[in-house]
Amino acid sequence: MFIGELAKKTNTKVETIRYYEREGILPAADRTDANYRDYSPVHLAKLTFIRRSRDLGFSMAQVRSLLDLAVDDDQPCAGVDAMAREHIINVDRKIADLTLLRAELSHLLNACDSERIGKCRIVEALGEPRR
Amino acid sequence: MFIGELAKKTNTKVETIRYYEREGILPAADRTDANYRDYSPVHLAKLTFIRRSRDLGFSMAQVRSLLDLAVDDDQPCAGVDAMAREHIINVDRKIADLTLLRAELSHLLNACDSERIGKCRIVEALGEPRR
DNA sequence: TCTTGACCCTATAGAGGCTATAGGGTGCAT
DNA sequence: ATGCACCCTATAGCCTCTATAGGGTCAAGA
């Protein structure tokens, strides 16, 4: 399949796919006589993996090491597991922060409804150094 | 406090602080006779807020607008109200996204039966197109 | 057969948000 | 007075894409 089809299937911009190839994160595809990239189902799976990992908030470097871990059949679980675990901690912290911010924002709305502008404490809500 | 101390306290690079000042998102500090920036606790809270917000995925423009809400002079209620409402929608969407992501990550963890080496399905799971 | 239009190619530049480097001043301890 | 860690400005570069310019390829239709 050509790059456009791969792009559609993985919901990725064509330019981004070429960028991934330049970065060496997606293996180069075979070329047709007309020098078109010709992708295989393996590329599709790998790119899907990359995109999904990026969506889940892993950095390029992390995706790289996830891919490396995937190649090594011996101990993939421990490494991948550890990365996911660490990531979950971050996500939980973010959800907590956003919930705080949300509360302050809706407080602001209520203050407004009661005709008196309340003090906005959004900075106070998130302005404290983390415990 | 000087810029280095502020940097340490907020886990921010000195260069980044100066960048925020140039961008007008963090107010300029007073200067000492030697032209050193001299920061107050107010700067500390504001910068902490900025960093947290950025970490939560708000763009610079969004952080700017959140900070505008915090200017507690009597602004026209309607404007503040509309802005706060908009941000709440945004925050709710972020919370929903992260909650989903959290579920997926913990699903990933479950897919890893670490007792059985070589049977890790995390990698497979990431390579599947999204249902 | 010739043209049109959707695709493909490379190379390069730009955006957003930092981060690093060069070249130099400040201030305190030894 | 000499180090050394810190501060200053100005400018260039990095990361992850995304867009643009300038140009080939190919199937379908006039």
Q: Is the CB of B114 under 7 A from strand C?
A: no
Q: What is the pLDDT of residue B29?
A: 96
How do the domains of chain A map onto residue ranges?
3-71, 78-126
**Does A68 contact chain B (CB < 8 Å)?**
no
Nearest to B56 by CA among A31, A84, A60, A93: A93
Of B48, B53, B109, nearest to A129 by CB-CB distance is B48
Residues of chain B falling short of pLDDT 50: 117-119, 130-131
Q: Which of residues 28-87 of B touch strand C (CB under 7 A)?
A: 32-36, 54, 59-61
Q: What is the CATH number of domain B1-72?
A: 1.10.1660.10
CB–CB of B120 and A91 under 8 A? no
Q: What is the pLDDT of residue A69?
A: 73
For residues A108 and A114, the answer to whether their CB atoms sit within 8 Å is no
- Cα distance between residue A50 and residue B126, in whole Å: 8
Q: CB B88: neighbour CB atoms within 10 A?
A: 16
Domain topology for A3-71: Multidrug-efflux Transporter Regulator; Chain: A; Domain 2 (1.10.1660)
CB–CB of B88 and A109 under 8 A? yes
- Cα distance between residue B47 and residue B102, in whole Å: 28
Element (H, E) at A91: helix A76-113
CB–CB of A74 and B118 under 8 A? yes
Give the mean pLDDT of chain B.
Answer: 82
Q: What is the pLDDT of residue B130?
A: 46
Angle between helices B60-69 and B41-55 (to 10 degrees): 130
All protein residues with a CB under 7 A from any atom of strand D: A 13, 15-16, 19, 23, 32-35, 54, 59-61; B 2-5, 7, 14-15, 18, 35-37
- What 3-state DSSP class applies to A21? helix
**Is A107 exposed, middle or buried, given 0-12, 13-18 or 19+ CB atoms closer than 10 A?**
middle
Overall residue count recorded for chain A in this entry: 131
Tens digit of pLDDT at every position of chain A (131 positions): 999 999 999 999 999 999 999 999 999 999 999 999 999 999 999 999 899 888 777 889 888 888 877 666 555 577 778 888 888 888 899 899 889 888 888 887 776 655 554 556 666 666 676 65
What totals of helices (H) and strands (E) does chain A contain, helices first? Answer: 6, 2
Element (H, E) at B30: strand B30-31
- What 3-state DSSP class applies to A12? coil
Beta bridge partner(s), residue A31: A37
- Cα distance between residue A123 and residue B13, in whole Å: 21
CB–CB of B117 and A88 under 8 A? no
Beta bridge partner(s), residue B31: B37
